[in-house]
Amino acid sequence: MSISSPTAIGLDFGTTNSVVALSQDNAAELVALDVPDARNPVFRSALCFWEDDGRHPGVPSGLAADAGPWAIREYLEFPQDSRFLQSFKSVVASASFEFANVFERRLRFEELGQLFLAKLAARAGGALDGQAARVVVGRPVEFAGSRPNETLARTRYDAMFAGLGAEIHYVYEPIGAAFSYASRISDPATILVADFGGGTSDFSVVHIAAPGAARRCTPLGAAGVGIAGDRFDYRIVDHLVMPLLGKGGSYRSMGKVLDIPGGYFNDFSDWSQLALMRNRRTLAELDKLRRNAVEPDAITRMIAVIEQELGYQLYDAVGQVKRALSSSEDAHFHFAGAGLTVEADVTRAEFETWIAPDIARIGDAVDRALATAATPASAIDRVFLTGGTSLTPRIRRLFDERFGEERIATGGELTSIAHGLALIGQQDDLAAWAA
């Protein structure tokens, strides 16, 4: 299929990856984006900033930026002279996040988002230059964060996407996946869509009618929880790395020995917060803590990782061991940098013990989705698992145990949402799926 003048754009702006699809005449296709040495529809949701003063010939001096895998490439080449941000979607509903310090500038969430969208469009080879009538943007059922502010998230999204110059419609991400799955089947079915991303896990119960019906997909109920792949990464860092950076340690204050506050370690273990720790205030607080710590070398290592911008390398090592545990019963974790070396053998059983509390909360969210839909598990014909974290064996086993392996369907783990959102954009009444 070739779409020269799309009627709708489906945009899956994800915590870890973003994907765009175009639709026309009841069909949709993914947009192949430029990535280093290739074209791929999956674009990493990351930004890299630098102060260009001769770093790249022909580029004017001043603040420069790039996005996606190009941001990663830039950062890896000049880590200490760059400001690298990833998983920034995780702070969209956080009232405590006001701006990111980028050298001498302070950038609000919507400014980060607008820049990311502009860079993504520039890598689309002109595919997004045509004026589409509608842009359908996916959003989680429940935003990430301990106390997510839905109104604030919507305000920030409105500002971020306003520059696209089209009607903007928001739809729950699992509803997009449901439309994509519906395009693959012909029989009516009641399905549970389970979408596992980087920041959130979202669930929707949807009835799919036979092709040709006035309304192909009818949402019956939904629920979500701000737990997904990033939380699993946090568990690995918390168990393997944080004890070497002072977690569980003590410091001296006014003649007393006190526990080191846990907030520093919580931020360090969170992708979206670690990059933000590289600011004068936080580094000054950590240096004061180091001077009073019972084991100052541990805090010194934490400061070095932050100052030397090694967060990406750390979480790349985490991602490698997590992916290895999806296909093997054991894996080796290795990270070295800033005077810190971590070598550890990890078993899948250990990892599943670490994430057990998270799996329990995910299971509770599934129960809530079924309850809001007034649909028992026995009435679900298919469970469609999507999103990168759905490949985690413990996630798959959760659904095998509850619904039976024969009812599980998979496919398009990273692309089904954008594909379905583009199909939704062609519907006559988008209000039926608005979120």
| Burial class for 109, CB neighbours closer than 10 Å (0-12, 13-18, 19+) | buried
d(CA 170, CA 152): 15
Cβ atoms 90, 272 nearer than 8 A: yes
Reported as type and span, the H/E element at residue 311 is helix 311-327
Cβ atoms 421, 10 nearer than 8 A: yes
Q: What is the pLDDT of residue 59?
A: 55
Cβ atoms 293, 260 nearer than 8 A: yes
Cβ atoms 171, 435 nearer than 8 A: yes
Q: Which of 372, 383, 377 is nearest to 410 (CA)?
A: 383
Tokens of 186: 């012909």
CB atoms within 10 A of CB 256: 8
Q: Is 192 helix (H, G, I), strand (E, B) or coil?
A: strand
Tokens of 165: 């110059």
Prediction pTM value: 0.92
Residues 6+ apart with CB under 8 A from 407: 380, 381, 382, 383
d(CA 123, CA 266): 34
Residues 6+ apart with CB under 8 A from 163: 114, 117, 118
Distances (CA, A) of 282 to 1, 86, 303, 357, 432: 52, 19, 10, 30, 46
Reported as type and span, the H/E element at residue 232 is helix 229-240
Write the single-letter amino acid at 125. G
**Length reported for the chain:** 435
Angle between helices 311-327 and 229-240 (to 10 degrees): 100
434 bridge partner residues = 171
DSSP H helix total and E strand total for the chain: 14, 22
Q: What is the pLDDT of residue 131?
A: 67
Q: What is the pLDDT of residue 1?
A: 43
Residue pLDDT, tens place only, 105-148: 899 999 999 999 999 999 998 888 876 789 999 999 999 988 99
pLDDT beneath 70: ranges in the chain:
1-6, 53-61, 131
Q: What is the dihedral of CA 136, 141, 146, 150, to 10 degrees?
A: 60
Tokens of 154: 């919507």
Cβ atoms 125, 34 nearer than 8 A: yes
CB atoms within 10 A of CB 398: 18
Q: Is 325 helix (H, G, I), strand (E, B) or coil?
A: helix
What distance lies between CA 185 and its chain's CA centroid?
A: 28
Residues 6+ apart with CB under 8 A from 369: 192, 203, 204, 205, 221, 222, 223
